[in-house]
Amino acid sequence: MNTKLAPRVAILAALAALVAPTALHGQEQTARVQPQEDLGELQGPVTCEKCHNDFSFLSGKTESAAGDSALLVTDAMLEESVHGQAVYCVECHPDYEGYPHPEGLQPVDCRECHDDVEEEYGQSLHGYALARGDEKAPTCEYCHGHPHEILESLDPQAPTFHAKVPELCASCHGEAGLITDRLVRLPQTFTAYTGSVHGLTCDEGGACCTDCHGVHELRGPMDPESKISHLNVAETCGACHEEISEEFQNSIHGRALAAGLSDSPTCNDCHGEHHILSPHDPDAATYSARLAVETCGTCHNDPEIIVKYSLEGGVVGSYVDSYHGWTTRRGYERAATCVSCHSAHAVLPKTDPASTVHEANVLETCQVCHPEADAGFASAYDHVAASITRNPVNRIIRAIYMVLIGVVIGGMLLHNFLIFNYYLILSRRESLRRRAVVRFDRFQVIHHMVLAVSFIVLVITGFALRYPDAAWVQLTANLGLTEPMRSTVHRAAGVLLVLFGIWHVIWVLTSRTGRREMKAMLPRLKDFRDLVDNLKYHTFRSKREAWIGRFGYPEKVEYWSLVWGIVLMTLTGIVLWFPEATVRLFPSWTIAASQTIHFYEAWLAALAIVVWHFFFVIFHPDVYPMNWAWLTGRFTEEHVKHHHPAWYEEMAAGRTDDTITGGESAEGEESPA
């Protein structure tokens, strides 16, 4: 046994064994336990260690969840523990009198020695939680370890060692988060902290949890006595950042806080709480590209704050719309930001003689970046001078240019529209003069028009719901397309699209023309060969064009995509229209899945029309400025011969009912075939 511990343990053992012991430090005591037969294997003088250092004797002596090992107190434990070197057993276990020990023993009460700490803990968030019976509340043992093995906080092995404190706190405030007994979800602070400048330097003395929150006196931010109270944060940070804290507290922000104005920012409003990053880190709130809008702009771009404190308005906008603002948004860190002119922590109003933007100091401030600057240069770059709305010169220039842009660009648009319209008319007249094939009958032309109108209406009214902040959506709302009207129009267009889809199916099944068209629209292996031939021809690797029939792969891709889209949008649209009925028949996740499918299918369909359909009917060099078949139902002979040679060959051979008719004369009369 350790020679330093032997006398003391012997005394404690004797005190614990006697029925009426006397506890005197430094005096060796022995005792005999009676009756003798109750002691089992124990003979002679009894000490605490005689039992609690012998695991074989303790076996089966407890029914606690911790097992027999909870009773084991070895010499090694006591030798390393701060308690083993400073106190006696009975000081923590005063009611352990005699052996067998009496029933109903009281748990160890740390207040007997640490009453000051207990008082601080009792007024902390942890103490409040424990007092109301929260089983998740940390106790002394939870943080410091087993009472017999408590190490000094300066010991690197101690859980309360400075560098290990974040890991200790993370056992509750870690990645999984913490929900209190009152179902309040606390922040997942550990992950944010580990990636911060404090967390990365914790092993080297960087701030850890207890440096900011306190050790035992940990209080919530709403408590005026808390170290992290909004009014006390600067003082807390000042424990490490003394000079910066002093600058801040002398600034207009610090003065406002001292005056009780809680709207004024403090350290963590700009730098963040746990995820504090270097200002050179693009993710930092103090990074140059984010500073004006996201950090300073939180207050100086807030209409309520501006009105409440009569602040200068428009400062964020005038900065963002300046050379400095443009370059910082591009990630150029050397460009001036808010703190370059106003300073980072010693921010003062320009009326304060100590301010960096005071009229006596502003030139010196500008010369930090512009050494050759003079007084005229300095006065040309304040927020008023840079503002379009507040600077009368800029305001007049802007008004002139708004009129000029409207007149000049509007005139150009009108001029170009007249030219475009001229070629549209020529194109239509030319298509009517030439020999042509009737590609679509009147039913098909009407069907296409209804389909196009309903699709466009669905796209506009659908995306208006998903992008309510878009300028064009605001315009449609001002024109009367409010939410009730939008939803009604959207559903009406959807119903119309479905009805014409049903009509199309009936036409295909009952009409000779419909059956012929459907047969020609069926996918074939030849379509893939046509795709390959077409790509080879248009990349100058072959002189042979694709031999496409009545419908080629472009039309087939479009048609079957349309069929797929209508079916999918109809099914998901019904789910979203009648969600209550849906969940009675299908799993609840059907609604969310339908909403996602409906949105992305809408994007797929809209983009397919713009990229694929509009190319072949408008932008293709052979049909530009427009293929008039969607209105006339006619393809010119040249178009069929070039784009559908297999179909043209069938017509020439008489293997199809389609015929090439004569065109019209310039006066509109049909010319001879």
Annotate 206-261 with three-state secondary structure.
CCCHHHHHCCCCCCCCCCCCCCCCCCCHHHHHCCCCHHHHHHHHHCHHHHHHHCCC
CB atoms inside a 10 Å sphere around CB 342: 19
Tens digit of each residue's pLDDT (9 = 90 or more) over 478-534: 999 999 999 999 999 999 999 999 999 999 999 999 999 999 999 999 999 999 999
Amino acid at 509: L
Give the number of domains in the chain.
Answer: 2
Alpha-helical segments (H) within 578-636: 579-585, 589-608, 614, 629-632
Does the residue 17 lie in any domain?
A: yes
- The 3-state secondary structure of 415-449, one letter per residue: HHHHHHHHHHHHHHHHHHHCCEEECCCHHHHHHHH
Q: Name the burial class of residue 12, with classes exposed (0-12), middle (13-18) and buried (19+) by CB atoms within 10 angstroms of its CB.
A: buried
Cα-Cα-Cα-Cα torsion 391, 396, 401, 403, nearest 10 degrees, comes to 140
Which strands make up the sheet holding 436-438, listed edge to edge? 634-636, 436-438, 660-661
Give the number of residues written for the chain: 673
pLDDT (mean) for 74-98: 77
Taking the model in full, what pTM does it have?
A: 0.68
Considering only CA atoms, which of 599, 603, 625, 602 is closest in space to residue 614? Answer: 625
Give the E-state strand segments of 277-381 in sequence order.
Answer: none
Domain limits for position 523: 437-661
pLDDT band at 6 (very low <50, low <70, confident <90, very high): very low
Does the residue 49 lie in any domain?
A: yes
Does the residue 462 lie in any domain?
A: yes
Domain boundary among 90, 108, 126: 108
Amino acid at 304: E
Q: Does residue 594 contact residue 389 with C-beta atoms inside 8 Å? A: no
Does the residue 122 lie in any domain?
A: no
Q: Can you say whether the dihedral through the CA atoms of 68, 69, 75, 80 is positive or negative?
A: negative
Does the residue 178 lie in any domain?
A: no
- Which tokens is 54 given? 């012998």
Domain boundary among 51, 78, 108: 108
Tens digit of each residue's pLDDT (9 = 90 or more) over 546-585: 999 999 999 999 999 999 999 999 999 999 999 999 999 9
CATH classification at residue 644: 1.20.950.20
Does the residue 240 lie in any domain?
A: no
Tens digit of each residue's pLDDT (9 = 90 or more) over 584-616: 999 999 999 999 999 999 999 999 999 999 999
Does the residue 61 lie in any domain?
A: yes
pLDDT band at 672 (very low <50, low <70, confident <90, very high): very low
Does the residue 149 lie in any domain?
A: no
Q: What is the pLDDT of residue 45?
A: 54
Q: What are phi and psi of 199, to 5 degrees?
A: -65, -35
CB atoms inside a 10 Å sphere around CB 605: 20
Q: What is the pLDDT of residue 33?
A: 34
CB atoms inside a 10 Å sphere around CB 333: 13
Q: What is the pLDDT of residue 16?
A: 37
pLDDT band at 655 (very low <50, low <70, confident <90, very high): confident
H/E stretch holding 178 reads: strand 178-179
Domain boundary among 108, 124, 159: 108
